Structure formats: C-alpha cells, structure tokens
Structure 1
Amino acid sequence: MSLPSSLRRRLPVAGAVIAVAALALTACSSGGSASVPGGTSSSGSDAAVSAVFKDAPVAADSLIIPDSTMAKIKARGKLIVGEALDAPLLSQQDPTDPTSVTGFDADLAKLLAIYILGEPNVEIVPPASETREALLANGTVDVVFNTYTITEERATQVDFAGPYFSSGLAVAVKSDNKDIKGIDDLGGKTVIVGANTPAVTEVPAQQPTATLLTFGTDPQAVQALVQGRGDAYVQDYTLLASDALANDGMKVVGQPFTTEPYGIGLKHGDADFKSFVNNWLLEIQKGGQWGQAWKNSLGTVVDSDIPTPPAIGSVPGS
C-alpha cells in the first residue's frame, strides 16, 4: 500500500481523528474471552478475534524506560497511530460503527498498544501518503501502520521498525480487459499510480513509454481505473487484492513484480523506541499473534499458508 507504500490511504479529510475506546483486555493473559475494542476481525468471527489477542504479550515494567516514548504513551493511556480507515483487510472502519476498525495493520496497532498499556487503547489519525513523515516529526502520532514501504531515502526522515510484512507492486485492470497480463504489457499505456508511492518511479523504470496518471488516495485511483481514465493501476498487490474484492469492475493480473518491505514508521532518532518495537514484533511473531492477525485479514483472500515474517532489520533503511 505503499500496502503500498502507501498505500493508502488516505481519507479525503486527512485530519480526521477517531478514538477507539478500549476495555481492559483481561483475557490477554488469562486466555478467557474478552470484548475486543475496535470491533471484530475481518472474518466477523469472535473466536478469530480472540485468537489474535489471546495471550498477547505485555512488556515488563523494566522495558518502559523512564522519560522514553514508551513511558509517555503509558502515562497518556493510549497509543496514537497513523493508520488508514479505508483500507479493506488492513485497516477498515465499519460505517455502521465508527469505533470498529479492523484488518492486519489495525490488529497490529492494537497488539502494540496492549504491549505498552496492557489494553488496546488506540487513537487513529488517518494520514495522507505525503503527510506521514510530518505527523511523526511533529509528534502528532507515535507510530505509523500504513503499508509504509521502507526506503533509504525515507529513513533519513523517519525511523523504521521491522520490516513487519513484505508485499510488492502489481497490476490491476478493468475486469473486462483481456490484453494486459502484467507489467510487461504497460508500454505506451496510461498507468494510474498513487502519489508518493514506489510506483511513481518503478513504472517508468520498467516501462519508460508509459504515461503516469497520479492520484492522492487509493479510492480515487480505483475510481479512475473503473471509469476507464487509465489502462491499468499499479499499486501494492495486497491493496489491489482488497480493492478487487470490493469492486467487481477490476481485477488483479499477473504476480507482483517488485518486493516491498513494510515498516512501522517512528520518529527519527528514537533508538530506544525502535528497539522496543522491534522486540515486540519478535514477541508477537513467536507467540503466534502476528500469524493469526494475517490469517484473519489478508489470509481470508490469499490462497496460501501464513507467510514467514521478514527478518527484522533485513533491508536498507530498517
């Protein structure tokens, strides 16, 4: 997103804020059932939701260093997250219940809140792809879960924990298009891309005769594709899959043609918090919560086993 790297995701009103009120997850350590703030999982199964948060790790007091970002979040009583509200399978707000935000990124954000606070108290600030760095730099958000592709250039402005997931750019076309099968067929075509996503540079690198048509949000790009304003839409495979699931006017063709490691955006220069978040990632991978979160969201539309998480610090910029 740059799901894309971006994916996403950006609400038309980027300043909108939603507080996901949370009850204490007493079941996190006991294994009992609990009402999970933020709504049910993408599958709608209470049992599946419980599996994500069951026995979720909580950081030892010794890890909450005095005067650290972790300590400030704990004192505040909530984790403030840059996260989309319009990204199916990743971070999707329920239109009938604005406090319910579900998906892979949403569940990971709640798991991080549990690790720091003992309960999933999350406040969401929907970012535009071009505002994520500023939201971190000025302290508006503590972290960004937004299919935020790790690059060395971005790493000069923000720190990245992770990578926590790896996707890649892929191609979507109108559902009745039988001519375009993937990136190799985009020469001379009008290709829709998201602003400030890897597609902006990757498409011209692979197809220099393609003409780019740029949009600031994923919904705008999807609408342009379905309306026939472009021949194809290049975006993160996972985001395109969720878009196609919700819109029978488009389909994903071929396989991803790049590898995009998603990182958790953090304020630049906060080494203690980066180490803390990386350790948390290892904990939820080992404990099975990472895999269950994937299974309940992206795994509902992807025909494969739970993927192996990418190694922490395995890409330049992480």
Structure 2
Amino acid sequence: MKKLIPLAAATALLLTACSSGNYAATQLPPEPSAGPTTSAAPKVPRACPDGEDPLASYAPDNRTPAPGGVMPAGSFMAEIKQRGRLIAGVSADSFNLGYRDPITGKIQGFDIDMIQAVAKAIFPDADTNPNRVEMRVISSPARIPSLRATKNPVDIVARNMTINCDRWNDIAFSAEYYRSGQKTLVQSDSTAKSTADLSGQTICAPAGSTSLDNLKKKNPRVNAVTADTDTGCLVMFQQGKAQGISGDDTVLAGDVAQDPYAKVLPERFSDEPYGLGISLQHPDFVKFVNVVLQQMKDSGDWTKSYNRWFSAALGKAPVPPVAVYGRVPAPGQ
C-alpha cells in the first residue's frame, strides 16, 4: 500500500557503508540488552530506590580542567588526548539527531553537535580535523554494552538515551542536555486520536529502548514489535508491516520529514530526559563533559544547534535543561 520513501531507504543502506573520509566511522552489530497541542506528560521520578535523583550527575569541581586547556595527567581526558581521538557511539539513522547525510556521507545532527563540542574541548583543532572523532554507529540495544565492553569500548554515547535509575546501575550520565517525550506516529489517514485507539494494531519501537516499555504500559493491547534501529521501524511502517511507530518526539519528527504519509498523534505520555552516556569508571570525564554542556547552554550554541535541527518540526527552541548535580561517585571510581 505504501511506497518506501527513497531517503529512508538510502539511510538504511548507508548504515553499512563506509564513510567518505569525513569521519572514522565503524558499524557495530546490535547486542542484546542486560501536532500543535500535547497532553500533560508525567514528571520524571524525583528519586531512585537508593534515594538519588535520577537526573543528578557529578558536579564539576576545582580539579575539573577548563575545556581547551591542559588535561591533567592521569585523567581520562589526557588518555583520550594521547590517543588522538574521541571514540563516540552514535546513531546514523535518527534523522536530525544522528544520521548519515546520503549526499556527503557525514554523520550529523543534534546529538553529533554534542559530541563535536566535547571533542573540541579536548582537541582545539577538532573543527578542522575530522579524525579527532571516531564515530561508531551503534544500535539502541548496544548503547550500554558499548560503554561496558572490556575490549575497545567507546568513550561516550550520544544516541537519544533517556536517563533513568536502572541505567545508572550500569553507566554514568552527564547532566541532562535535552528533554524529549514519547509520542506515536501513524498513517496520515488514521482516525486514532491517542495510543489507546491503537489496540490490536502492530506498533514498532526500537529494541532496548524506554519507548518499548512505555508503549506496553500505555496500551498493553497493542502488538508491540521491535527493530534494532529507528530506520528499521520506519521501513516496517512504510512496508505496511507496522501500523505505527512509538518513540521520542525528536525521532518521530525526523520520520515525518521523510514520509509524507505519516503524522504524529498529539498525545505525549512520557518525559525522556537525554544524557550523554559515559562509563562509571570515568567520573572525571563526566564532570568535564558537564562543563562543556553548560558552556554550550550559556553561549547560545545549544540553541543554535536546536534551531538548526528541530525548529522546523518542533517549533521555537525551549530553555535548555537546567543541570542537576549532587550524585557522588562510588568508592574506587
């Protein structure tokens, strides 16, 4: 019934293509995981079972180096600088968040701007030397395993990852850098008004994502299916194998931009605070990244990035999320 839109198909094919030299990009296989109005979204839980605020990250201190300065000996930032590149786990198929431009081959988007800012804070020449960042394309289920891998892990993950209590058990997060929310995409001629109207229909959500869990809780009567990537869900939708996609509004806005036969329902039924994922073994790097993010917010670079990637679909840039601190690294970290 629906025709596969060329841009989505091209993006799917480019996931396995080599980069054009603008980035050192590698593809990692998936790994198993351990409208104008909106409805009110639930608030982010203010405390984890251990009493911690899920949004609380590690506060920078007087030992946290200034971006662009000398990285202290023994710090993880010094290790990255000695290596000569930052290794980042990213998406290449989330339109406007992290996607490979089918013309230039470059991976770009809002999440990628966060990575580029971190890279420049360590390597002042990162803007002109693309080899300062190695982009490793990972699936949603591979986000946490890629940070915890014992062999050749990534340094940081920027892949629209929601901060929550359970994930703090496995990885550390930066301060929140974006507040998204879950919605559902359907065919443009659908009469559904909310997710409650989709009982019995097949709805896709990325594997290993909070979107999948939220969808099942919101309407247990939908036939929830998964794909390893956002583009995988979009392809299923365009092939008629799924009647909808549920996920972050940022991702769905990109899907609509690629498919004129799709629309997003106005109902928003979750808050999804994004954080940059970092290993629990590197609290010094978390603090450093928090300084970088705050500088982006204060300088207006965060707003410029938002306006470039999201304003056409999501409207005027909101006030950047306020950083929350207070979490203390565990002994030995």
Q: Deviation at 1:15?
A: 8.2
With over 3 angstroms needed to count, the CA separation of the structure-2 counterparts of 1:239 and 1:105, relative to structure 1, is: same
**Aligned counterpart, 1:83:** 90
Match 1:112 to one of 118, 122, 126? 118
CA contact (8 A) 1:11 1:128 kept: no
With over 3 angstroms needed to count, the CA separation of the structure-2 counterparts of 1:199 and 1:316, relative to structure 1, is: farther
CA contact (8 A) 2:14 2:100 kept: no
Match 2:261 to one of 249, 252, 256? 249
- 1:307 matches 2:318: yes
Could you report, residue by residue, the CA deviation over 1:211-232 in whole angstroms, capped at 9, with x for unpaired residues? 2122222112112222332232
With over 3 angstroms needed to count, the CA separation of the structure-2 counterparts of 1:17 and 1:270, relative to structure 1, is: farther
With over 3 angstroms needed to count, the CA separation of the structure-2 counterparts of 1:94 and 1:230, relative to structure 1, is: closer
**Aligned counterpart, 1:70:** 77
- 1:152 matches 2:144: no
- 1:268 matches 2:280: yes
With over 3 angstroms needed to count, the CA separation of the structure-2 counterparts of 1:60 and 1:193, relative to structure 1, is: closer
**Aligned counterpart, 1:129:** 140
1:243 maps to a residue whose letter is D
**Aligned counterpart, 1:278:** 290
**Aligned counterpart, 1:167:** 180
CA contact (8 A) 1:16 1:125 kept: no
Runs of 5+ in structure 1 lacking a partner? 1-9, 23-57
Q: Deviation at 1:314?
A: 6.9
**Aligned counterpart, 1:96:** 103
Match 2:195 to one of 168, 183, 189? 183
Q: Deviation at 1:97?
A: 2.1
With over 3 angstroms needed to count, the CA separation of the structure-2 counterparts of 1:161 and 1:293, relative to structure 1, is: same
With over 3 angstroms needed to count, the CA separation of the structure-2 counterparts of 1:12 and 1:265, relative to structure 1, is: farther
With over 3 angstroms needed to count, the CA separation of the structure-2 counterparts of 1:314 and 1:197, relative to structure 1, is: farther
Runs of 5+ in structure 2 lacking a partner? 1-10, 25-65, 127-131
With over 3 angstroms needed to count, the CA separation of the structure-2 counterparts of 1:182 and 1:115, relative to structure 1, is: same
1:210 maps to a residue whose letter is V
Q: Report the number of matched residues.
A: 271
TM-score computed with the length of structure 2 as normaliser = 0.74
SS at match of 1:213: strand
CA contact (8 A) 1:14 1:127 kept: no
CA contact (8 A) 2:202 2:243 kept: yes
With over 3 angstroms needed to count, the CA separation of the structure-2 counterparts of 1:16 and 1:116, relative to structure 1, is: farther
With over 3 angstroms needed to count, the CA separation of the structure-2 counterparts of 1:235 and 1:315, relative to structure 1, is: farther
Q: Deviation at 1:159?
A: 0.7
2:156 maps to a residue whose letter is V
Q: Deviation at 1:101?
A: 2.4
CA contact (8 A) 1:80 1:141 kept: yes
Q: Deviation at 1:208?
A: 2.0
With over 3 angstroms needed to count, the CA separation of the structure-2 counterparts of 1:96 and 1:313, relative to structure 1, is: same
Could you report, residue by residue, the CA deviation over 1:79-121 in whole angstroms, capped at 9, with x for unpaired residues? 11111122221122222322x2221111121111111111222
- For residues 221 and 71 of structure 1, the distance between their equivalents in structure 2, rounded to whole angstroms, comes to 39
CA contact (8 A) 2:90 2:138 kept: yes
- For residues 146 and 186 of structure 1, the distance between their equivalents in structure 2, rounded to whole angstroms, comes to 28
- For residues 198 and 314 of structure 1, the distance between their equivalents in structure 2, rounded to whole angstroms, comes to 23
CA contact (8 A) 1:15 1:127 kept: no
- For residues 121 and 69 of structure 2, the distance between their equivalents in structure 1, rounded to whole angstroms, comes to 11
Q: Identify which range, 279-288 or 133-142, moves more after superposition.
A: 133-142
Q: Deviation at 1:194?
A: 1.3
With over 3 angstroms needed to count, the CA separation of the structure-2 counterparts of 1:173 and 1:231, relative to structure 1, is: same
Q: Deviation at 1:182?
A: 2.0
- For residues 232 and 60 of structure 1, the distance between their equivalents in structure 2, rounded to whole angstroms, comes to 45
With over 3 angstroms needed to count, the CA separation of the structure-2 counterparts of 1:223 and 1:11, relative to structure 1, is: closer
- For residues 249 and 151 of structure 1, the distance between their equivalents in structure 2, rounded to whole angstroms, comes to 33
CA contact (8 A) 1:20 1:123 kept: no
Q: Percent identity, please.
A: 28
